[in-house]
Amino acid sequence: MEHIPQHIVLFPDGNRRWARAKGFHTLEGHKQGYKNLLDFSEWCKRKGVKTLTAFGFSTENWNRTEEEVNYLMKLLESCLIDNLSKYDKEGTRVRVIGQRDRLPKSLQGAITKTEEATKNNQNLNLNLAISYGGKWDILNAVKNIIKQGIPVEEIDEKLFESHLSTAGLPNPDFIIRAGGEMRMSNFVLWQAAYSELYFSSKLWPDFTEKDLEIALEEFDKRSRRFGK
């Protein structure tokens, strides 16, 4: 392929529907989903993708049942700590974007430990969005700019992007959403202004490396003109 996206945004959607279809508890779907995310990050690295940003837990997900929220918090924590050696071996730098202050203290500690341990890895940037929302990201950037007292005439797109949670990373080239839904669901709203969109009917735990290859072939065919 001539064009490989340098930054992929992933919606790993359909975990609960996958579990119900197989007669499992819905929490088992989340477990399988995170296993597949680890595989997906390796597939991306092998194909030359440099940055992967995955939706792990949205600001709206706090409205789910206490049982499910608690399970997801523990799952995210283990996903970070239990895979430290894997991240290091594969050269993956892990970062978390979102409202850290809303997360359990143990998860905050796991995030800090993982980010510190992987900060020098350069093969793949893996960003996990936890308690993240696109509207929150934009409002948070506005608040920080105001707090810093930056004059209005100095505020441009470049400065604004430096205050988003994805500061320092290129905007996503390609957004892949599994699970059959076709919407942005309050994710990277500013950053996705010119991203190519791809929707798969596959429920996320069933999404394979072949499905990624099909998506990348589609991306390679597209003409990105950025309004020109």
Q: Any residues with CB less than 8 A from the CB of 17 and at least 6 apart, and which? A: 29, 179, 203
Token code pair at residue 124: 């793949």
In whole angstroms, give the CA distance from residue 47 to residue 2.
Answer: 12
| Closest C-alpha to 103, from 62, 144, 60 | 62
In whole angstroms, give the CA distance from residue 219 to residue 213.
Answer: 10
82 catalytic per annotation:
no
128 DSSP 8-state letter: E
Read off φ and ψ for residue 194, nearest 5 degrees. Answer: -125, 25
Catalytic residue IDs: 13
